[in-house]
Structure 1
Amino acid sequence: MIKSEFKGSRAPKEEKLEADLVIVGGGMSGVCGALTAARAGIKVVLVQDRPVLGGNASSEVRLWILGATSHMGNNNRWAREGGVIDEILVENLYRNKEGNPLILDTILLEKVSDEPNITLLLNTMVYEVEKSDDHRIDSVIGFCSQNSTRYRMQAPLFCDASGDGIIAFLSGASFRMGAEKADEFDEGFAPDVEDYGELLGHSIYFYTKDVGQPVRFVAPSYALKNAGELPRIRNFQVQDDGCRLWWVEYGGRLDTVHQSEEIKWELWRVIYGIWDHVKNSGQFPGTENLTLEWVGTIPGKRESRRFEGDYMLHQKDVVEQREHYDAVSFGGWSLDLHPADGIYSDQPGCNQWHAKGVYQIPYRCYYSKDIDNLFLAGRIISASHVAFGSSRVMGTCAHGAQAVAMAAVLAVENNWLPRDLSDPERIVLLQRALNRRGQSIPQLPSEDPDNLMRDARITADSALTLAELPFDGPWMPLQFSTGQMLPLEADTAYKFRVSVRAKRATELKVEWRTSSKIQNHTPDVTLETQIFELKPGEQEVTIMVSKTLDHRQYAFLCFEANPDLEIRGSETRISGILSVFNKHNKAVSNYGRQDPPAHIGIDAFEFWTPSRRPEGHNIAMQIQPAIACFGPENLNNGRVRPENTSNAYVADPDREQCAIDIYWPEKKTIREIVLFFDPDYDHPLESTLHGHPESVVPFCVRGYELKNCSTYTLVAVDDNHQAINRIRLDEPIETDHLQLILQRPLPTTPAALFEVMCF
């Protein structure tokens, strides 16, 4: 029994926590940052004001995680973010290919709770900052409503990943809220704030369920009475639910921090008003048996404060793909702004303009220019309103948070502050540490002096020489212009033979294209055009191209749309090889081509995008000379995904297994081996609602064996589904020879491996 006499006041229970890094905010940025830092050996406190992790991706909001891949609706090939965020998405695919947001909750909680270096505080709101001087945070204070405990969290370093920037704000850091004028950063896409507004609003979603019998709906008194008059309701489809309702948006004219509760109530009015209209207006047949299964109780927030770092990302960084000496992350979502009036606007729900490829994000965007020991992560990083339209999405935010976390690790180890790492000589240490973990910074291959593979000799008992994509697949109608992407050599004249089928006598137009930047996958340069006269029926077409490439890069053999033609596909799928289509993806404002107004500083170009599996077959063809860029020399070139070429070792497709031998001129002491398999970085892996055809990516090697000197087995795996396999040996070994045996994942997909690292 506890009995306490009257007191004039009482203080809540208080606990003091000390760590190397305190991360405030448990969305995808905070989660990926905490996991990265903890696995690298420092102590982390992760503070989350909600009962689950994931933020907008969690079951409380249910927005799918996306980033540079943009629903496969842009020209950013193999652009899914690497490292921990990819590990989470691949694990979610394995356990949850149907896209249940509750399962994603469990995955995030499991990964964080499994890390002994992370102290997780859920339901804990940080409300106060204590500073040792004007420019340094000493501790932050939070209160947990569930256990009535106040926490004082002290650390040399802090990371604000809270979305609204609560500790950055309380510490006095410089911030912006709203849109810059066009002339500040020479941004042609900067909005007219009087007409368009300055802020993106919030959204709330709902799920429906068919219960097999008629269900009545009586709207609550606060539901919007005239939802049928909303401009956007005209496009509503009965099957739309979850984050497909992103256009149910409101709040861009209000203070998206301090008026969030008002915004939430208005969104509830709208949501229940929409459902009342759908159920009771008689305009939506087939809804009799539908009921509301779930309605969000907190809104998904897009925009509030942005804090200033030593560099501010802006429109030209995105569009021109500017390179930065301190690049640590990348983006690739469109410049995506929304009218501030949201659901009440008669303008389109979004205004998206894409770049021709991914862009680098510099480290200087990820720390406060004012608070010496404060990192920034998530949507609050240092970016203009226009650039924020791209950098704000969760995949990009999480990827940047991984960079912040590794910076914190290096800062702890060397007694540095965040700005110290922006020094050109020190930033190399951060870039190297990130790439070792699969960060894949564009145009920055891993060059790690500690990697013993740098002086290794690598052989394989087989390697793909691509002379043919077999003629064993479906006939593909040329409904859209169709292209085959191939990694080709410079100064080489190629010949291709394809099989087509014509309904009647017609013409086949073929274009030979490449990209104006060798790292891009936008076919914006036409090298050659040929036209072939065809007779009715099936026939072969031989295409001899006379124009050669100036660089080793991807080229596109493009076949113009023709309703009278089909082209033969291939069942074979190979790492680094894709077919693409000049088709539409309205979800990301892709209508086959973008033609922006001339004054807004955005490029006009065509979209050539893949189809999702099980569609998206390669075009069957014979190729002369054969493509020979798939050898074992790729395994130590520092690149873990396709860029200007495939960068993958690919085995002979006819071999069920292959052997890779790694030799050193003298014995090496090895404690860890890291293998980088192919998780199909082109597939977006939306985390929620969307669903995917497989639980394991078909390119990923499931089974492998690693041997020491071809004699005894160090590890044998038969159920792999992850891209990065980190093999830490219980005891280091001394050897001058390792052998890796890979099993072919599927009869139509040869074994592939991007990189091997040894330490």
Structure 2
Amino acid sequence: MIKDYIPEKRVLKNVELQADLVVIGGGLAGVCCAVTAARLGVKVILVQDRPILGGNCSSEVRLWVLGATSHMGNNNRWAREGGLLDEIMLENAYRNPEGNPLIFDTILLEKVVIENNITLLLNTAVYDLEKSDIDTIESVTAFCSQNSTTYKLYAPLFTDASGDGIAGFLAGAAFRIGAESKEEFGEKFAPDKSYGELLGHSIYFYSKDVGRKVKFVPPSYALTDIKQIPRYKKINTKDYGCRLWWIEYGGRLDTIHETEKIKWELWKVVYGVWDYIKNSGEFPEAETMTLEWVGTIPGKRESRRFEGDYILKQQDIIEQSIFEDTVAFGGWSIDLHPADGVYSEKPGCNQWHSKGIFGIPYRCYFSRNINNLFLAGRIISASHVAFGSTRVMATNAHGAQAVAVAAYIAKKYQVNPREVGQKYLFELQEELLKIGQHLPHQKLKDKNNLVHQALVISASSTLSLSEIPASGVFTDLKNGVAQMLPFHKGQLPTIEIEVNALEDTSLIIELRKSSKIYNHTPDVSISSITYQLVAGKQNISIVFDKEWEEDAYGFILFHQNPLVHLPLSNQRITGILSVFNKINPAVSNYGKQTPTEDIGVDTFEFWCPERRPAGKNLAMKFGKPIQMFKINNLLNGIQRPVSTPNAWVAAFSDKKPSLKLEWKSPIMIKEIQLSFDTDFDHPLENVLMHNPEEVMPFCIKNYKVFDDEDKLIYQKKGNYLTLNTIKLDQPLNTKSIRFELEHPSDDVPAALFEIRCYTANT
């Protein structure tokens, strides 16, 4: 029994904690920052004001994680973000292919709690801070509502990943809210006042059919006149979750201090929409449906954007500016929404794509005037227009991983964030590449990788692609289809393909390439041939009498003709894709991007893959084999297809594919890293959308590692991750290492992007 009485005011319990890095905000960006830093030995305190992690991708909001892949609806091939985020998404696909948001919560939480270097504070909101001088944060103060405890958190470095930028705001960091004028940065897409300067919040709901009649009595605050929503005629019973992204409001209000007011308006709309579905009589199928879940907090899109040493602009996205200090990339469309949201007469979004991914410089990830404050998540240094692309969660998390590595380097050399970029940029980029973070125009030059010292690197076989064999199944040409193929510099091979014409007709076949070698937008026509076909099946020989200028992808493009059918193959090969000129309205892809006015974006066609199990390669034969899968690709420092496949691929006929590294004299190996193909073209949406496989079909699941005495030193079964790190219990002294691999399946050959070996743990 406790009895207590004092006449004075009581004070709360106070706890002081010290770390190398305090991360404020436990959304996806904060999680990826904290875990990545912790794995590098940085002591981290992660402060989250909600009871769970994930922010907008948590079960509280239930937005899918997306970034440069854009639902496979743009021309950004193999563009899924790497590093820890890739690991999280693959883990979710393996454990949670049905996209249950509650399971995704557990995956994020597990990634954090298994790290001994992280102290996690949930339900803990930062509300104050102290500074050691005008430019330096000394500590932040936070309150946990669940244990009535005040925390004072000290660190030499802080990351603000809080969404609204609470730490940056309190510290006096320079920030912006709202849209810049067209004149400030020369951004032609900058919105005017009628469109609005801020994106609003959204709340979603889930529904389900319970198989029996269910009534719904709306709460008194529900919207009663559904016609207040201009798009009410598009309401249906099939959409739920983040497919209801257009239930948006608040862009005309203060999206920070009026969030509660915005939330109530969104609840009003949500329950009004459900009332319309249940009780209007327009949806008889809804009689047995019930409202399963409604969000209790809104998913925020926009509030403060903080100023770094560089502000990313529209031109950087569209022109794909090349930065010396690139540490992350984006690729989502420039996606702006009318400020009136659900009540607007305008379309719910206004999306414009670039022709490929764009780099984001390190200078966008730290405050220009608070010298120990990193920026992560949607608050990074970008204009309102550029923010329309950088704001999405996968892009946010990817950049936050760069912040984590920068914090590690800052700790290592006792420097501030700006000095990391000024003095240790190469090391920052190298460390990012080593954890699987793809950086446009950068290659890993790892002097510590013992593979570069190997006397001999050999393979049991290498794929020489002379044919993509037919399966006996044909696809029609209701839409244009193109086969992406990597070609060596020089004379192009003759291509033979069987076509089936339903009647006498003509078929246009065109050879295209991308105007930029690292893009996958087929915007340059090299040659076009028209073939006269007779009814029935026939073989045609495609001869492009052209010299290919450089090692790069070509597009063998078959123009739309519903009377013609093309053969498909069951074989899937790393770095080989078929793409289709179809539409994907979810990302404003209508086959071709055609701005009707000068808004600073390009006109081009969309040629995108279909999701598996569709999207098979076209069957064809090559007069000269395509030989772009050689073993030296393992040493080129690129871990995904870009302008070429960048992978070693074994021959289909090789029943036991293997690789061997041999050194002149014995070396000491403590760690081995392997980079597998987990299909960076697949977006792996974490919720709502079902993933067709638990393991990506290109990924090597089973492999063995042997020493120079042919002794088994490591075996892996059931791999599903991109980056495998093998840390040996005892250092291995050996003159050679042999890797015995299994083909992922009969239709997919074994492929590997990179091998790295180290004398000590990296």
Shorter-chain TM range is over 0.9
Partner of 1:569: 568
CA contact (8 A) 1:337 1:386 kept: yes
Q: Is contact 1:473-1:617 (8 Å) kept?
A: no
Q: Tell me the CA shift for residue 435 of structure 1.
A: 0.3
Distance 2:546 2:375 in 1: 48
Aligned partner of 1:584 in structure 2 is 583
Shift of 1:600: 0.9
Residue 338 of structure 2 aligns to a residue whose secondary structure is coil
1:667 to partner: Cα distance: 2.5
3-state secondary structure, aligned to 2:5: coil
Whole-Å Cα distance in 2 between the matches of residues 473 and 703 of structure 1? 30
Alpha-carbon deviation of 1:237? Answer: 2.4
Query: What residue is the counterpart of 2:640 in the other structure?
Result: 641
Which secondary structure does the structure 2 equivalent of 1:406 belong to? helix
Structure 1 equivalent of residue 23 of structure 2: 23
Whether the 8 Å CA contact 1:708–1:739 is kept in 2: the answer is: yes
- 1:447 aligns to what? 445
* Superposition deviation, residue 235 in structure 1: 1.5
Could you tell which deviates more after superposition, 260-269 or 277-286?
277-286
Shift in Å at residue 229 of structure 1? 4.1
Who is 2:112 aligned against?
A: 112
Q: Distance in 2 between matches of 1:453 and 1:182?
A: 51
Aligned to 2:77: 77
What are the residue-to-residue correspondences of 1:244-283 with 2, within 5 Å?
A: 244-283=243-282
Alignment-derived partner of residue 554 in structure 1: 553
SS state at 1:721 partner: coil
Given that residues 66 and 395 in structure 1 are in contact (C-alpha distance below 8 angstroms), is that contact kept between their aligned partners in structure 2?
A: yes
Structure 2: distance between partners of 1:497 and 1:289: 55
5+ long unaligned stretches in structure 2: none
On the 8 A contact 1:90/1:722 being kept in 2, the answer is yes
Is the 2:94–2:694 contact (alpha carbons within 8 Å) kept by the matching residues of 1?
yes
Q: Deviations over 1:678-699 (max 9, x none)?
A: 1100000000001111111110
One-letter code of the match for 2:152? R
Amino acid at match of 1:492: Q
Residue 477 of structure 1 aligns with which residue? 476
Q: What is the aligned partner in structure 1 of residue 297 from structure 2? A: 298
Which amino acid in 2 is paired with 1:235?
Answer: K
User: Secondary structure in 1 aligned to 2:568?
Assistant: strand
Specify the alignment match of 1:122 in structure 2. Answer: 122
Tell me the secondary structure at the aligned position of residue 224 of structure 2. coil
CA contact (8 A) 1:702 1:719 kept: yes
After superposition, the Cα gap between the structure-2 partners of 1:229 and 1:262, relative to the gap in structure 1 and judged at 3 Å, is closer
Q: Distance in 2 between matches of 1:41 and 1:666?
A: 33
Q: Distance in 1 between matches of 2:502 and 2:55?
A: 53
Quote the Cα distance in structure 1 between the aligned partners of 2:316 and 2:665.
46
The residue aligned with 2:749 is: 750
AA partner of residue 480 (structure 1): N
CA distance in 2, matches of 1:182, 1:617: 44
Matched, 1:54 2:22: no
For the 8 Å contact 1:704–1:740, the answer to whether it is kept is: yes
CA deviation after TM superposition for structure 1 residue 499, in Å: 1.2
Residues 47-446 of structure 1 correspond to what in structure 2 (within 5 A)? 47-192=47-192, 194-423=193-422, 425-446=423-444
Distance 2:650 2:93 in 1: 26
2:698 matched residue in structure 1: 699
SS of equivalent residue, structure 1 residue 600: coil
Does the CA-based 8 Å contact 1:138-1:155 persist in structure 2? yes
| Equivalent residue number for residue 710 of structure 2 | 711
Indicate the residue corresponding to 2:32 in structure 1: 32
3-state SS of the aligned residue for 2:152?
strand
| Native 8 Å contact 1:658 1:742 kept in 2 | yes
Q: Is the 8 A contact 1:579 1:617 kept in 2?
A: yes
Q: Partners in 2 of 1:492 and 1:79 — Cα distance?
A: 29
SS of aligned partner of 1:634: helix
The 8 Å contact of residues 473 and 571 in structure 1, kept in 2 or not, is answered as: no
Alpha-carbon separation, structure 2, partners of 1:262 and 1:177: 19
**In the alignment, is the contact (CA less than 8 A) between 1:710 and 1:738 conserved in 2?**
no
How much does 1:445 deviate? 0.9
Q: Work out the CA distance in 2 between the residues paired with 1:733 and 1:260.
A: 58
Residue 473 of structure 1, CA deviation: 4.8
Deviation of 1:184 (Å): 1.1
Tell me how many residue pairs correspond in the alignment: 757
CA distance in structure 2 between the partners assigned to 1:172 and 1:330 by the alignment: 28
Secondary structure at the residue paired with 1:522? coil
In 2, Cα distance between equivalents of 1:708 and 1:444:
32
Q: Which amino acid aligns with 2:115?
A: E
- Provide the alpha-carbon RMSD of the alignment: 0.9
Aligned counterparts of 1:186 and 1:708: Cα–Cα separation in 2? 60
1:44 is matched with which residue? Answer: 44
Query: Are the equivalent residues in 1 in contact too, given 2:460–2:654 (CA < 8 A)?
Result: no
Aligned to 1:6: 6
Is the CA contact 1:20–1:155 (under 8 Å) kept in the aligned structure 2?
Answer: yes
SS of the aligned residue for 1:300 comes to coil
Task: Tell me which moved more, 380-389 or 446-455.
Answer: 446-455
Aligned to 1:726: 725
Taking structure 1 as the reference length, what is the TM-score of the superposition?
A: 0.99
The residue identity in structure 1 corresponding to 2:616 is: H
Q: Which runs of 4+ in 1 moved over 6 A?
A: none
SS in 2 for 1:754: strand
CA contact (8 A) 1:306 1:380 kept: yes
Q: Distance in 2 between matches of 1:474 and 1:117?
A: 54
Q: Which ranges of structure 1 fall in alignment gaps of 5 or more residues?
A: none
Residue 632 of structure 1: CA displacement? 1.3
State the 1:426 CA deviation.
1.6
Residues 701-745 of structure 1: CA deviation (Å, up to 9, x unaligned): 000001111511121011100010001111222222111111011
